[in-house]
Amino acid sequence: MAKKTGKTVRKQDVGASESFAPAQEAEKEVLSEEEARALLEGRDRFHEEALGRQWAVVLGGNPAHLMPQVVGQVISEGGTRAAWQWLKGEQEHVVMAWPSDQPVRAAVVMRTQERGGQFKPCDAFPLLEGLPNDLTVAEAHPWSSGCGADVAVTMMEGKNPMWFYDPFYLRDKDDLTPGVTHTFTLAGLALGVRKALLDDVTITQGPEYDAHALRWLQEHPGKTRLDVPPYKVPLNGKHMIMPGRVFGEYQMRATVEEVQDVQLEKMPLKLLRLSFPFHDRPPLLLPVYASAMVLGEYQPKAGEDVDLYVWLQGRVIDFDPQEDA
């Protein structure tokens, strides 16, 4: 399991001006050996308890100016589901979401201070419809404010966990026992996306390079270690997931399987269907939503390899998944 730094950034510390910092960091072309090792091991990450960057890419503008209108729209015109309503102690909770006919919605959690009391907003988030994946709970990091948490799950025993944001944490909390496997719906929001730039990666040290050097020297008698060429690993068609700067964010490379046009009110988005294969378990199914603000002029196509910086969202699968909000 990757070691956490314990550092937490509160909502008041993060503004919309930082919206694209992780995406820019993800596109850095050259990493030092130490930077690459830290990246692969998931070191130096932190819990960012804010959704400003996510709202910025979905809404296409400054969330501080747009959120009052969004919350008002959801409360006045949004719907809910039976699975989006729960009671914790004496507090009643209801998730309202809008619009009802798209897989990306604006959502608001409403709660009372006592049973039968007046509902008031306590959290707002982009609600992403995901695909079901069986994942084993590792741990959870509840946010100090709001109703969500960063949740860690494992897909293979002995491997580092994968983190995602669960906006339904107060509903799912009792089910998130470490070691227990649940079906989660998982989706991603692209904070950065582009057509994959590299066809291969050059490795000049490490165990893979050592094995390559040994093979090459056996095939070339009389040559020395100084004669061994760099080891090039082809990337075409490869699928990779690497930890990002923040828990719940990941750098990814994958082949787009399908592209679908969706929309949140006036903001068009592309739904990119991705999957990540494993040797001894079903593939990880991941729909990723990319807004026009993130895509710019790029129009992804099925069959293309893409590089992405993705924020993951998941929740225990709803008991009434076919019921429209």
User: Residues of 267-295 as b/e, b for ≥16 C-beta within 10 angstroms?
Assistant: bebbbbbbeeeeeeeeebbbbbbbbebbb
**The overall pTM is greater than 0.85:** no
Confidence class for position 256, pLDDT limits 50, 70, 90: very high
* Rounded (5°) CA angle 251-56-62: 150
Q: What is the pLDDT of residues 33-45, one digit of tens each?
A: 555 555 555 567 8
- Residue 224 pLDDT more than 80? yes
Q: What is the largest CA-CA distance in the chain?
A: 85
Q: What is the pLDDT of residues 296-309, one digit of tens each?
A: 999 999 999 999 99
